[in-house]
Amino acid sequence: MTGWSYNCRWIPSDAPKQAYFDGEGCAISQAAASILCEHIGGKTMEEIEEFAASEMLDLLQVRLTATRQRCGLLGFKALKTLVYSEDDSTGTSP
């Protein structure tokens, strides 16, 4: 089981200039989170909302088993949860 802890500050009206994570977990979850942070830097909220799990797996450039895909998508799911929770708090939906 992969354990994660992270701190995040989010301003929904701005594109994140830089993203970072601080967490503990398996090598795949750590590498995927790092790749994700590089990928979303400078993207608009709309681009981040449209970013799909299949695209995240493509960014990893390795074939993963179903179990390891969960590791590779941990950061992605955390990002999507954050984006959707911000949308919910403003009364809009993605």
Decide which of 4 and 31 is more confident. 31
* pLDDT of amino acid 72: 94
Residue spans of the domains in the chain: they are 27-85
**Is the model more confident about 12 or about 42?**
42
Q: Which residue has the higher pLDDT, 38 or 93?
A: 38
Give me the amino acid identity at 31. Answer: A
> What one-character DSSP code corresponds to residue 12?
T
- Say what the pTM is: 0.75
Per-residue pLDDT tens over the stretch 51-91: 999 999 999 999 999 999 999 999 899 889 888 886 665 54
> Average of pLDDT values for 25-52?
89
Specify the pLDDT at position 88: 60
pLDDT for 69: 95
List own/partner pairs for 17-21 with CB under 8 A and 24 or more apart.
17/41, 17/42, 21/75
